[in-house]
Amino acid sequence: MTLATIAVLAALAPQANPPGRASDEQAVRAHFDRFGQAWSRGDAAAVAATYAEDADIVRPGQDPVQGRAAIEAFYVRQFAGPLKDTKKSTAIERVRVFGPALAVVDSRYEMDRDQPAFHVRGASVTVLVKREGEWVAVASRSYRLPAEAPNR
């Protein structure tokens, strides 16, 4: 799903976060909690399980990855390589629920590791849909943010 498609869907969708959608927002936030818990375990299968079968992701410096199986394989490689032993913290900045089955989430993240030293900051836009009563990500785009200036 391209960002242009997402923008069209969002524009055509009903009012964001209409009354009564608080439970959907809580469920979307719980989705991100599951993702974070899986990351902390380095569990690529559990990370991939938060995505739909037909999902796609774009990560900084990486080719697009399409499909849950490919997403799992991507995270197996990442957790064994450059992201091994990283800690990731995610702050959800905004959840917009568009009707009963579409949500867009803006978030920021930090990934850290002591040895070898590693620290990155980024932001993500994630599109989720509710399928069979469960919120799953169908598209996720992450971007690196510039390093913070040192305190003077």
CATH code given to domain 15-145: 3.10.450.50
- Where in the chain are the domains? 15-145
The rounded distance, in Å, linking the Cα atoms of 85 and 114 is 9
Backbone angles phi, psi at 17, to 5 degrees: 50, 50
Provide CB contacts within 8 A for 135, sequence distance 6+.
24, 27, 28, 30, 31, 103, 128, 129
The residue that leads in pLDDT, 99 or 144, is 144
The rounded distance, in Å, linking the Cα atoms of 20 and 14 is 13
Express each pLDDT in 34-81 by its tens digit: 999 999 999 999 999 999 999 999 999 999 999 999 999 999 999 999
